[in-house]
Amino acid sequence: MWVAVVQPLMAGSRVLLWRGIDAGLIDGAVNGAATRAQKLGGLLRRLQSGNIRSYAVWIVIGAVVGLVVMGLRGGSR
């Protein structure tokens, strides 16, 4: 019984569950999310200048864009 049932089940679990699901799907999703976060952080790092005037300009631009979007959508219906 051990050779006929348990060993094939263990081998299949090793291939499908461990390598396929755990290493391929779960680890791939976690590593992919980490890579995307690292790339996004690299892009956002460029927006940081340490200059308070630059930050104020970004806030004003964001407020103007928000008002324009609200105006185009019809305000606060």
What the block records as the tokens of 32 is: 């992919």
Domain segments of the chain as ranges:
1-46, 51-77
Would you give per-residue pLDDT tens digits along the chain (77 residues)? 767 777 888 887 777 777 777 777 888 889 999 999 999 999 888 878 888 998 899 999 999 999 999 999 886 55
The per-residue pLDDT for 76 is 58
Which percentage of the chain shows pLDDT scores above 90? 39
What the block records as the tokens of 64 is: 């103007």
Element (H, E) at 53: helix 52-72
Query: Residues 37-51: pLDDT tens digits?
Result: 999 999 888 878 888
